[in-house]
Structure 1
């Protein structure tokens, strides 16, 4: 195992050196520094674009409103976005939509986004593929590890990826330790079941925090769960991690009104107006209750409901801005460029002609 890890680090360092050499033409004025000061607060408005590399590799072409070919990142920037979020898998497959997002690929895209003047968030899944409330599968290389070894795995993986980013000239503004983890992560060792095992989850989260701060103490660590409109869910989770001394800086939320069902046996509702007030109230409560900042790190609307999605994004941004003292940090759309014919994902915000959906105009304000 140590030989494999050493080999991985050597390969990653080689890729990073190449990236640094290829990016030396970037001017300081093209980049945004780490952590804008509170006296010069700027709302983060952005997108998770982790599919973008593969979209380009498979020949997908992006176009602006006039029909001219254009870089997908540039299009998002022109829609008013200033932040890029990137997920990291440990040893992913080459599957077009369910794999990739390796550390090396993440470094390459982060350098590209940074050189375009974008702020950066890194989202650690601690898996070889998707991690979410229903799936938190350990990486294959960690599958037989003891809990003591898993603690080291989390620290080392987090540290190594962030160190690689730093060597490539990128210090992310935010780092997510785990992705949508109301039921824990790295199952079964870090799984929350029957309201038990909080101490082990806390230990794993703190290892991610410690690795992040070892790279740069100014990076803000995000702990992220889903259903941002559900105050009871958030109080339950964050009360428990507070009681177990978890260290973090920002409470991250997902908000997908399309997937939220409100009556047993009823088709999932698409009308965000049912829950938007609860989202705002929950954010304000999180800030007051835990003295933390909050951020909607994932949001999305159904791709054919253009006006509904635009209205939803407008109101989510308003809700974040309504959080007192600039404690509402921003709003990030999950894979807006992941057009349906390529990704199969229905909550994208792109048109079949390769152009951005007008729904994204909500970010231009």
Structure 2
């Protein structure tokens, strides 16, 4: 008979080891979908020492191990609001793989930006009835996933829609028509799993500190039997009305992360985060705090944190929430991902 003390020790190791392994494997990510355009327009990236270097290498040396890539159906060639085609997405994913990074694919299901303010369906899908629209989404998702597979890429995560608090692919996929939205989500889920069964499917809502917003949305998703694996959250203190200082909302973010795990039994992930490039120390502190909240999620179900366009320097993009300076180098904010 095995010694009871020995059995207890084995049980303790069995419980603790997966949590330890998960903590070491937390995704520290960056959405760098602007990178091909930045490179094509001649932007030069410099490392901390002022030496020109591949952006991927700079990111990796700052702890980034995951790359998120948006993909649009028939995008324009506009520098800031175009590109991100299937072909460009696959090429970027292959670069990420060469640098030993994991990949997340973000289907916007649009020809350009999809977010709470706009969820315009692709022009090629306009005028199609709902059954046709379901087929459009399934075929497009299958096409992109197959292209990635052919390119040797197995995304660890695939996001269906971007910041879909009000739905996607208007009007059929609006949250005013949850039945239709759930059907669209499930068509995407089926397509992803058919090509890449191990990829985890994410549904993504903004205002990650807003528990009421998340409960309402994911309660509806449950009622209408939308299929997914991970709850994705955005967290941008800068855009929060009345409380842009992260210290006023970070605890709400932590409570919401924990509630999502408890209420729905799903894993959670901050798939977009960002802070002001003019308040570098504040952004650094915010990123450290966000990572702590994710790592503290029960049962190791906090998967990681992804910065949205940290390399998207204001001098190129006019975007004020990057982690890149006017000198072409990463700011101290990016060092937050080096924290163990």
TMscore range, shorter length: over 0.9
- 2:114 & 2:120 partners in 1: Cα distance? 7
- 1:111 & 1:255 partners in 2: Cα distance? 28
Per-residue CA distance 1:193-216 (angstroms, 9 max, x = gap): xxx311000000001100000012
> Residues 16-55 of structure 1 correspond to what in structure 2 (within 5 A)?
40-41=21-22, 42-55=25-38
Per-residue CA distance 1:143-194 (angstroms, 9 max, x = gap): 11111111011111111101000000001000000000010100011112xx
Deviation (angstroms), 1:38: 7.1
> Residues 172-191 of structure 1 correspond to what in structure 2 (within 5 A)?
172-191=155-174
Alignment of 1:256 with 2:236, yes or no, is yes
Alignment of 1:353 with 2:327, yes or no, is yes
Which among 219, 223, 238 is matched to residue 199 of structure 2?
219
Alignment of 1:62 with 2:36, yes or no, is no
Query: Which residue does 1:237 correspond to in 2?
Result: 217
- 1:254 & 1:116 partners in 2: Cα distance? 26
- 1:119 & 1:239 partners in 2: Cα distance? 30
Structure 1's 296 and 60: CA in aligned 2 closer, same or farther, altered over 3 A?
Answer: same
Q: Which runs of 4+ in 1 moved over 6 A?
A: none
- SS of structure 2 residue aligned to 1:53: helix
Deviation (angstroms), 1:270: 3.1
Per-residue CA distance 1:273-313 (angstroms, 9 max, x = gap): 00000000000000000000000000000111000000000
Per-residue CA distance 1:57-113 (angstroms, 9 max, x = gap): 000000011111000111011000100000000000000000000000000000001
Query: Which residue does 2:113 correspond to in 1?
Result: 130
Alignment of 1:170 with 2:167, yes or no, is no
- SS of structure 2 residue aligned to 1:197: helix
- SS of structure 2 residue aligned to 1:171: coil
- 1:105 & 1:250 partners in 2: Cα distance? 25
**5+ long unaligned stretches in structure 1:** 1-36, 263-268
Contact 2:145–2:196, Cα closer than 8 Å, also in 1: no
When normalised by structure 1's length, the TM-score is 0.87
Contact 2:19–2:299, Cα closer than 8 Å, also in 1: no
- 1:290 & 1:101 partners in 2: Cα distance? 32
Query: Which residue does 1:101 correspond to in 2?
Result: 84
Deviation (angstroms), 1:334: 0.1
- 1:74 & 1:244 partners in 2: Cα distance? 43
Per-residue CA distance 1:102-142 (angstroms, 9 max, x = gap): 00000000000111100000000000000001100011100
- 2:167 & 2:295 partners in 1: Cα distance? 29
Per-residue CA distance 1:39-70 (angstroms, 9 max, x = gap): 73200001000000000000000001111100
When normalised by structure 2's length, the TM-score is 0.93
- 2:202 & 2:315 partners in 1: Cα distance? 32
- 1:133 & 1:147 partners in 2: Cα distance? 22
Contact 2:275–2:321, Cα closer than 8 Å, also in 1: yes
Aligned length: 320
- 1:355 & 1:227 partners in 2: Cα distance? 29
Contact 2:260–2:268, Cα closer than 8 Å, also in 1: yes
**5+ long unaligned stretches in structure 2:** 1-17
- 2:21 & 2:293 partners in 1: Cα distance? 20
Query: Which residue does 1:289 correspond to in 2?
Result: 263
Query: Which residue does 1:270 correspond to in 2?
Result: 244
Which among 165, 179, 195 is matched to residue 199 of structure 1?
179
- 1:335 & 1:40 partners in 2: Cα distance? 28
- 2:127 & 2:331 partners in 1: Cα distance? 45
- SS of structure 1 residue aligned to 2:69: strand
